[in-house]
C-alpha cells in the first residue's frame, strides 16, 4: 500500500472516537427499540419531508423536486442530520445520494445501534474518486484497523445508490448494485466484532475542517474548510429500507413492533423480537442451538428474496432463524474475516460519524470534534 494511503487511513483513525448514545442497553435497562417491521419503507425525498425521519437539533432541510433533501452547510457549527424513528434488526438500506463538495466537508450515511454498533459510508468533499467505509462494535475505538476506501465516480457531481446489506453472517457495502466490500461474521471479539444489534438510520453532513479541530481531523478531511466557497450542499434523493427481522406473518411474527435487549451481552441471539399483532408469540428470543446447526423452535424468517446484490439478501438468509443461533461451522464463530473488491481497502479507519453528536445540539458538536 502507498505511504499516502497508509497516512490517510491513520489520520482517519484519529477522528473515529466521536460516539454518542442516549441509553446503552449493555450497561443499563433502556426502552425497547421501535421496529421498522415487515413493510418495506420507500421514501422519495423529491416529494418532500417524510415523518419516518426526525430532524436533529439545529437541523433545517429544504427539498428540491429533482435533487431531493438538501443538506446545507454555511458555517462551522452546521451539522444537518436526520435520524429514523424506527430500527432495523438486520436488513438492507439503499440510499441514493450526491455528496457535498468542499474541503473539510463530510457527508455520512450511517447505521448505529443503542450499544454503539455501527456501519458507515462517508464521503470527503474534496475526494472526487472514492468513498470511505467503516464499522464499529459497541463503540470500541481501542484499535483502528477496520476502515477502507472504495472507488466511485464523481460522488459530488453524480447521484449513486449506496447500499448496506446486513445479515447475521455477512455485511456487504454495495455501490450501484456492485459489492465493493464484504465483512464475514466469524465470531471476532472486541473492536473487530461483527455489528449485530438493532440499528437506527442516520443521514447528514458535518464540518471536519474546522479551524479549532485537531490537525489529524483536518488532514483526514482534506484541509480547512473555506466557507467563501460555500454554501456546501449534499443531496439525499431517496431511501429504501428493509427490516429482515420484521416478520411476514407466516413463518414469523406478523409484524415486529419492537426489539428488546434480553441481556447485556450485545449479541444478536439475545435480542427479543416483540410482535405487535400476536398474543401467542409476543416475544421470540434467539437462543443457541444445542446441536450446533441452525434450528427453529418457534418462528423462522423466510421473506427475504435472493438473487442479485441489490436483492434483500442472499439465499443463505432466506430461512434465517429468528429464535436460534447460526451453526458453528464458520458462520457465526471463529475469527472475523473481511474481503474486498475495491482494490485499495486494507487497514485503517474511515472518519467515524460525528453527526450522531448533533442530537445533543450544534453547540456541543464543535467540542465533540476535538480529540
**Region of residue 59 (left: phi > 0; alpha: psi -120 to 50; beta: else):** beta
Q: Is 331 helix (H, G, I), strand (E, B) or coil?
A: coil
Cell of 66: 429533482
Catalytic-labelled residue, pool 22, 76, 118, 258: 118
Cell of 169: 453472517
Half-sphere exposure of 112 (CA within 13 A, CB side): 28
Question: CB atoms < 10 A from the CB of 141, how many?
Answer: 15
Q: Is 118 a catalytic residue?
A: yes
Cα–Cα dist 368/36, whole Å: 30
Catalytic-labelled residue, pool 22, 49, 122, 283: 122
Q: Is 76 a catalytic residue?
A: no
Closest Cα to residue 241, out of 42, 5, 77? 42
3-state secondary structure 2-67: CHHHHHHHHHHHHCCCCCCCCCCCCCCCCCCEEECCCCCEEEEHHHCCCCCEEECCCCCCEEECCC
Cα–Cα dist 100/319, whole Å: 40
Which segments within the chain are labelled E, that is strand?
33-34, 41-44, 53-55, 62-64, 68-73, 81-84, 91-98, 105-113, 118-124, 130-136, 148-151, 160-166, 170-175, 178-184, 199-207, 232-243, 256-261, 271-275, 283-285, 337-340
Grid cell 449506496 in the structure block, residue: 162
Catalytic residues: 118, 122
Amino acid at each position: 500500500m502507498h505511504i499516502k494511503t497508509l497516512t490517510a487511513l491513520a489520520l482517519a483513525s484519529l477522528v473515529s472516537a466521536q460516539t454518542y448514545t442516549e441509553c446503552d442497553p449493555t450497561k443499563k435497562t433502556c426502552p425497547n427499540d421501535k421496529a421498522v417491521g415487515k413493510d418495506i419503507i420507500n421514501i422519495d425525498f423529491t416529494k418532500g419531508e417524510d415523518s419516518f425521519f426526525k430532524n436533529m437539533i439545529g437541523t433545517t432541510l429544504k427539498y428540491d423536486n429533482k435533487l431531493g433533501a438538501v443538506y446545507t452547510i454555511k458555517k462551522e457549527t452546521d451539522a444537518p442530520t436526520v435520524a429514523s424513528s424506527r430500527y432495523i434488526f438486520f436488513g438492507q438500506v439503499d440510499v441514493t445520494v450526491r455528496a457535498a463538495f468542499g474541503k473539510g466537508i463530510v457527508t455520512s450515511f450511517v447505521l448505529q445501534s443503542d450499544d454503539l454498533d455501527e456501519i458507515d459510508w462517508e464521503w470527503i468533499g474534496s475526494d472526487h474518486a472514492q468513498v470511505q467505509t467503516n464499522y464499529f462494535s459497541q463503540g470500541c475505538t481501542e484499535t483502528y484497523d477496520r476502515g477502507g476506501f472504495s472507488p466511485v465516480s464523481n460522488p459530488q457531481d453524480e447521484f449513486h445508490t449506496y447500499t448496506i446489506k446486513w445479515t447475521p453472517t455477512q455485511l456487504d457495502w454495495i455501490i450501484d448494485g456492485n459489492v465493493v466490500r464484504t465483512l464475514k461474521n466469524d465470531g471476532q471479539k472486541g473492536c473487530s466484532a461483527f455489528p449485530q444489534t438493532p440499528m437506527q438510520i442516520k443521514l447528514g453532513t458535518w464540518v471536519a475542517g474546522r479551524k479549532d479541530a485537531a490537525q489529524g481531523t483536518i488532514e483526514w478531511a482534506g484541509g480547512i474548510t473555506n466557507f467563501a466557497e460555500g454554501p456546501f450542499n449534499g443531496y439525499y434523493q431517496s431511501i429504501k429500507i428493509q427490516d429482515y427481522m420484521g416478520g411476514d406473518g407466516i413463518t414469523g411474527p406478523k409484524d415486529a413492533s419492537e426489539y428488546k435487549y434480553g441481556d447485556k451481552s450485545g449479541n444478536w441471539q439475545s435480542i427479543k423480537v416483540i410482535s405487535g399483532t400476536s398474543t401467542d408469540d409476543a416475544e421470540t428470543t434467539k437462543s443457541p442451538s444445542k446441536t450446533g446447526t441452525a434450528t427453529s423452535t418457534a418462528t423462522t424468517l423466510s421473506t427475504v428474496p435472493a438473487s442479485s446484490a441489490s436483492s434483500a439478501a442472499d439465499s443463505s438468509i432466506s430461512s434465517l432463524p429468528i429464535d436460534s443461533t447460526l451453526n458453528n461451522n464458520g458462520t457465526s464463530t471463529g475469527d472475523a474475516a473481511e474481503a474486498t473488491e475495491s482494490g485499495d481497502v486494507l487497514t485503517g479507519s474511515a472518519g467515524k460519524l460525528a453527526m450522531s453528536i448533533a442530537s445533543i445540539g450544534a453547540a456541543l458538536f464543535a467540542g465533540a470534534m476535538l480529540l
